[in-house]
Amino acid sequence: MAIMLINNSGVSFRSVSKIFITMNLSFNLSLRVPSHATVLNWVKKQGIANFRDKAFFDNEKWILIVDESIQFGNKKLLAVLAVPASKQNLDRALTYKDLVPLVLKASESWKANEIESEIRSCIDPKQVAYVVSDNGGNLMNCCTLLEKKHIEDVGHKLSWIIKEVFEGQDEFEAYTKELSGLRAKLSMSKYAHIVPPNQRIMSRFMNLPPLFHWGNRILKLLDKKLLSEQEIEKVEFVIQYRDLITQTNQLLRTINKIQKTLKNKGLSKVTASQCLSQLDDIKDERGRKVMAMIQTYFENTLQKMPDQETIICSSDIIESCFGKYKSIVKANKTVGITDLCLCIPSLMSTSSQSQTKQAMTKIKTKHIKDWKDKNIGETLYAKRNSLFKKAG
């Protein structure tokens, strides 16, 4: 139950003990209350138990989803997840239970040949159908070294397309600059309720919808005369961007629908046709450019795997895994990457009692230390402690 609270409910390690105490008090139970350190140890054991030996992957074909995390301290975390090829026809998005952890390792940098070596040590490339990742140069070059087709993640690809069409356009840059200035002026004022959402610096073009959704709603409020004179004074600049806002908002909403279709149903000739038909109502010049580039992406991807009826083209599930880890370490990012990252493979258990019991009895504390030494090495926290101990 403790492991399920961590994996399924997003409960912190310390909160698990409090939940057990609350249950005991509320239902007159006598459950033993584990400490947060014990729960942490259980999750790490479950994470290690979910890894498989190389022979396990010889029974069928697998699709690899590969990514590396943002920098945590002085290291990046490489994650390679394996999905049975049979899962690409499920007509739904992948879940944690569909995944088998293949590689989880930290390093200061990851070169293509290093990623290739890690993958080959865990699975015979002959058993790999194709690889899904973003367009990172090292990840694409790794696919070349493995002699496997690289499928571009649809989320990153569509973001790149939006960037290609909009970046550097004077009207677009002027609009986003106005929003940034407005937020800086009004965030702490009595008009804070009308400020636009934050503009993210990283992955800027993956997070445009809130900016244009805000602009579209402000235009509607202005048209219906539902703002006070003072509020109008603050936001009436959006009127000069009416065409940009309405057209881009429609385009981004349509792209969001396309992503949803592809993430749930995969890419096939049928879903490609469905997605392109959703763009038929986009008539402005920018929208038509986006449509043409999306069509090219579909054609190129389908040509890579002509024998596959459906292609998994989303690596969202691995981003979700990284998000889980980030939520755990966000309170103290200075620790860098630790064996806490074993919470990622822990997510990929079936939650059956027999599997959990086997993990708890088979995996010893020594195995956790051995795994950490091999895959994490010296942590930033340990390095800092070692240095300052010398100061006395």
The one-letter code for the residue type at 358 is Q
Domain boundary (271, 304, 337) is at 304
Span 238-261, mean pLDDT?
Answer: 95
Q: Do 126 and 58 reside in the same domain of the chain?
A: yes
Residue 237 lies in a domain: yes
Span 275-282, mean pLDDT?
Answer: 91
Q: How far is CA 57 from the centre of its chain?
A: 25
* Residues 13/66/355/87 CA torsion (nearest 10 deg): 130
Residue 310 lies in a domain: no
Q: Do 171 and 296 reside in the same domain of the chain?
A: yes
Q: Do 142 and 271 reside in the same domain of the chain?
A: no
Alpha-carbon dihedral sign for residues 53, 54, 59, 62: positive
Beta strands in the chain (DSSP E): 62-68, 76-84, 100-107, 128-133, 150-152
Distances (CA, A) of 375 to 55, 56, 66, 118, 382: 20, 21, 16, 11, 15
The number of distinct structural domains making up the chain is 2
Q: Sorting pLDDT into bands at 50, 70 and 90, what band is 96?
A: very high
Residue 375 lies in a domain: yes
Q: Do 270 and 168 reside in the same domain of the chain?
A: yes
Does residue 86 have a pLDDT over 60? yes
Residue-number span of the structural domain to which 273 is assigned: 158-304
Burial degree of 385 (CB within 10 A; 0-12, 13-18, 19+): exposed
pLDDT at 39: 94
Q: Contact, 135 vs 157, CB < 8 A? A: yes
Q: Sorting pLDDT into bands at 50, 70 and 90, what band is 338?
A: confident
Say if pTM beats, i.e. exceeds, 0.85.
yes
Q: Do 145 and 187 reside in the same domain of the chain?
A: no
Does residue 185 have a pLDDT over 80? yes
Residues 35-50 as b/e (b if ≥16 CB within 10 A, e otherwise) read eeeebbbbbbbbbbbb
CATH assignment of the domain containing 321: 3.30.420
- Lowest pLDDT segment from 64-78, 174-188, 236-250, 359-373: 64-78
100-107 vs 76-84, strand pairing mode: antiparallel
The three state secondary structure string of 211-229 is HHHHHHHHHHHHHCCCCCH
Does residue 172 have a pLDDT over 70? yes
Q: Do 162 and 147 reside in the same domain of the chain?
A: no
Domain boundary (260, 279, 304) is at 304
Tokens of 62: 């697998």
pLDDT at 214: 96
Does residue 385 have a pLDDT over 90? no
Residue 73: closest CA among 384, 373, 391: 384
Q: Do 186 and 299 reside in the same domain of the chain?
A: yes
pLDDT at 102: 96
- Lowest pLDDT segment from 213-222, 238-247, 349-358, 368-377: 349-358
Instruction: Report the C-alpha gap between 284 and 57 in whole angstroms.
Output: 49
What are the tens digits of pLDDT across the range 138-149?
999 999 999 999
Does residue 333 have a pLDDT over 70? no
Q: Sorting pLDDT into bands at 50, 70 and 90, what band is 369?
A: very high
Q: Do 169 and 283 reside in the same domain of the chain?
A: yes
pLDDT at 351: 63
Q: Contact, 26 vs 15, CB < 8 A? A: no
Q: Do 177 and 69 reside in the same domain of the chain?
A: no
What are the tens digits of pLDDT across the range 303-319?
999 999 999 999 999 99
Instruction: Report the C-alpha gap between 119 and 62 in whole angstroms.
Output: 12
Q: Sorting pLDDT into bands at 50, 70 and 90, what band is 344?
A: very high
* Percent of the chain clearing pLDDT 90 (strictly above): 76
Stronger pLDDT, 351 or 287, i.e. the higher one: 287
What are the tens digits of pLDDT across the range 24-48?
999 999 999 999 999 999 999 999 9
Q: Contact, 81 vs 100, CB < 8 A? A: yes
For all residues of the chain together, what is the average pLDDT? 91
Q: Do 265 and 195 reside in the same domain of the chain?
A: yes
Span 212-221, mean pLDDT?
Answer: 96
The one-letter code for the residue type at 348 is M
Does residue 202 have a pLDDT over 60? no
Q: What angle do CA 43, 44, 46 make, to 5 degrees?
A: 65
- Lowest pLDDT segment from 132-136, 137-141, 333-337: 333-337
Q: Do 145 and 163 reside in the same domain of the chain?
A: no
Which residue matches tokens 């033993």?
A: 32
DSSP per-residue codes, 91-153: SS---GGG-EEEEEEEES---HHHHHHHHHHHS-GGGEEEEEE---HHHHHHHHHHT-PEEEP
Q: Sorting pLDDT into bands at 50, 70 and 90, what band is 203?
A: low
Residue 123 lies in a domain: yes
Domain boundary (304, 333, 351) is at 304
The one-letter code for the residue type at 230 is Q
Does residue 117 have a pLDDT over 80? yes
Q: Contact, 314 vs 65, CB < 8 A? A: no
Q: Do 166 and 297 reside in the same domain of the chain?
A: yes
